[in-house]
């Protein structure tokens, strides 16, 4: 396994630890730990792609593993947000449906010998999702450290939903683009 694929694998391995910090308020500064680990995991997404391109280490396995690692990281965080009442479940369900649809499309494409790599819309979607999760966690850190009063909770919840909502819009657009660009793959299935 090459270095970019190891970084993608590391991103997946970090997910349970991030989730544990998010869901364990007994741990001092648990949102800060979750934020720092999420930032590190997100950086591996940038790093693995850059290394793969500059060193010529792009593999078919990596083209599947990298977006899968992104999905696992983002969806785990968003599911935690729903559990913690930090964002609306409908936004998360829409994002999940898109992710499953595009992943299914990729799997169908493999049957016809085609690999569907990430395009610019998919990359924009991933960046918007990472930014949304990062900022929601940052707001929770600021709450945890007393920067915002308890009276600000409704405003912060609104901001959280706007952030996740913006990433949801990019997610839906990128999903539609993937499906439109790969309609032939869908039509060729038996």
Residue 162 CB neighbours (<10 A): 14
**Domain boundaries in the chain?**
3-188
pTM for the model stands at 0.92
Q: Average pLDDT of 116-126?
A: 85
For residue 181, the model assigns a pLDDT of 87
| Dihedral (CA of 145, 151, 155, 157) sign | positive
pLDDT score, position 92: 98
Collect all residues with Cβ–Cβ distance below 8 Å to 59 and sequence separation of at least 6.
Answer: 2, 5, 52
Q: What is the pLDDT of residue 118?
A: 74
Please tell me the distance from the alpha carbon of residue 171 to that of residue 177, in angstroms, as a whole number. Answer: 10
Which tokens go with 79? 């599911």
Q: Do 4 and 64 contact (CB within 8 A), yes or no?
A: no
State the CATH architecture for 3-188. Answer: Up-down Bundle (1.20)
Tens digits of per-residue pLDDT, 85-113? 999 999 999 999 999 998 888 888 877 77
Look at 31-35, 53-57, 114-118, 142-146 and tell me which has the smallest mean pLDDT: 114-118
Residues 11, 77: Cα–Cα separation, whole Å: 13
């Amino acid at each position: 396994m090459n270095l970019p694929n190891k970084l993608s694998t590391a991103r997946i391995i970090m997910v349970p630890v991030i989730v544990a910090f998010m869901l364990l308020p007994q741990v001092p500064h648990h949102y800060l730990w979750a934020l720092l680990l999420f930032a590190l995991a997100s950086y591996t997404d940038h790093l693995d792609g850059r290394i793969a391109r500059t060193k010529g280490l792009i593999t078919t396995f990596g083209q599947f593993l990298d977006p899968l690692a992104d999905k696992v990281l983002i969806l785990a965080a968003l599911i935690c947000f729903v559990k913690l009442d930090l964002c609306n479940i409908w936004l998360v369900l829409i994002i999940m449906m898109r992710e499953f649809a595009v992943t299914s499309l990729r799997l169908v494409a493999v049957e016809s010998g085609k690999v569907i790599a990430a395009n610019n819309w998919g990359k924009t979607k991933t960046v918007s999702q990472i930014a949304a999760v990062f900022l929601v966690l940052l707001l929770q850190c600021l709450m945890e450290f007393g920067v915002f009063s308890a009276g600000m909770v409704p405003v912060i919840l609104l901001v959280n939903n706007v952030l996740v909502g913006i990433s949801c819009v990019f997610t839906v657009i990128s999903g539609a683009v993937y499906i439109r660009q790969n309609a032939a793959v869908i039509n060729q299935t038996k």
